[in-house]
């Protein structure tokens, strides 16, 4: 190869991309630029990425729309962490001869965080921790999980893992999704419920669906009004699954007890957003998939994909 290929690694917030994989296999073949900051403005994204032939994206942090892709004349390869990424316009990439590929993916970290958020909500952990740090002691009476009902919206791989833990806590497990059958729910350790029944009966509703045209806004004002005033909503999947305005209204009016959220319509979450200040919201910065082992799988896969592309070998082509 006469010259080195320019590679951009985007949105490495923690500055770990080069530490968690062996990039030495690409030595002498590529020049790598790691960006730890996030650029939201499309014009800024284009300006940043114009020199690069390979762009590595971390999940949906930086969307690559048609408008952006069409302004990147040097781009030849997009590498996404995981082989499914709805924020990349795959049709636009294909039309321009750009290969879009992905890495392997481990999903257990998200289900683990889901339970961390549920326990933090029910036992008021942020307030109690803050009290101790500020010199105080007990300030609230936490709730219990045993005997309570959890409603799981989406009983795929993640939802099934959440159901297994719920049963270990002695909870009643309800499940619903658009395609779920009674038989499939029972096989996965849950009791099938209608959508309305799930929202009305559950003490905790947790969402585990993929975002699509059919699921966008699947939890809206109607569903939130069905919920008990003592119930909590948990979303570690995708922000637009929930009608954000309706949720903010429900939280402000306390028609539900609270929410734990790891995903949002706009990320990073704007500084003035109500989810940052409402006292009945537990908000985390989309860390469901962010774990040491998960990152190792991602970045090692990125290196493998780049190496395969450079050698002319097959890569993990992304799914629509």
Question: Which residues are annotated as catalytic?
Answer: 238, 267, 286
DSSP structural state of residue 99? E
Quick check: bond before 307 cis, omega within 30? no
Q: Is 54 helix (H, G, I), strand (E, B) or coil?
A: strand
Largest separation between any pair of C-alpha atoms in the chain: 68
CB 285 within 8 A of CB 263: no
Report the interhelical angle of 125-133 vs 108-122 (nearest 10°).
70
Give the strands of the sheet with 54-57, arranged side by side: 30-34, 5-9, 54-57, 77-80, 99-102
Q: Tell me, what DSSP letter sits at residue 230?
A: T
- Look up residue 161 and give its two tokens: 């893992």
Query: Whole-angstrom Cα distance, residue 185 to residue 191?
Result: 6
Are 155 and 188 contacting, i.e. CB atoms less than 8 angstroms apart?
yes
Spatial distance between the Cα atoms of 240 and 129, rounded to a whole number of angstroms = 31
Q: What one-character DSSP code corresponds to residue 284?
A: -
């Amino acid at each position: 190869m006469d010259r080195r290929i320019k590679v951009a690694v985007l949105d490495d917030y923690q500055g770990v991309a080069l530490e968690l994989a062996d990039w030495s296999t690409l030595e002498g073949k590529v020049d790598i630029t790691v960006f730890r900051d996030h650029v939201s403005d499309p014009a800024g994204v284009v300006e940043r990425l114009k020199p690069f032939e390979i762009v590595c994206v971390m999940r949906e942090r930086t969307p690559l729309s048609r408008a952006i892709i069409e302004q990147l004349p040097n781009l030849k390869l997009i590498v996404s962490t995981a082989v499914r990424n709805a924020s990349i316009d795959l049709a636009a990439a294909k039309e321009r001869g750009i290969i879009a590929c992905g890495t392997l993916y481990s999903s257990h970290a998200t289900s683990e965080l889901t339970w961390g958020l549920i326990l933090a909500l029910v036992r008021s952990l942020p307030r109690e921790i803050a009290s101790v740090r500020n010199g105080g002691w007990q300030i609230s009476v936490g709730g219990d999980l045993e005997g309570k009902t959890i409603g799981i919206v989406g009983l795929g791989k993640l939802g099934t893992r959440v159901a297994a833990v719920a049963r270990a806590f002695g909870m009643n497990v309800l499940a619903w999704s658009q395609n779920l059958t009674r038989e499939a729910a029972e096989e996965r350790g849950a009791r099938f419920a209608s959508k309305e029944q799930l929202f009305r009966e559950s003490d905790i509703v947790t969402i585990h669906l993929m975002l699509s045209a059919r699921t966008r806004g699947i939890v809206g004002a109607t569903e939130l009004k069905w919920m008990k005033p003592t119930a909590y909503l948990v979303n570690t999947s995708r922000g637009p699954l929930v009608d954000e305005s309706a949720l903010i209204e429900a939280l402000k009016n306390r028609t539900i007890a609270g929410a734990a959220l790891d995903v949002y319509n706009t990320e990073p979450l704007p500084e003035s957003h109500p989810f940052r200040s409402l006292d009945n919201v537990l908000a985390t910065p989309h860390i469901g998939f962010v774990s040491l082992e998960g990152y190792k799988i991602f970045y090692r896969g990125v290196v493998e994909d780049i190496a395969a592309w450079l050698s002319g070998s097959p890569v993990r082509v992304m799914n629509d």
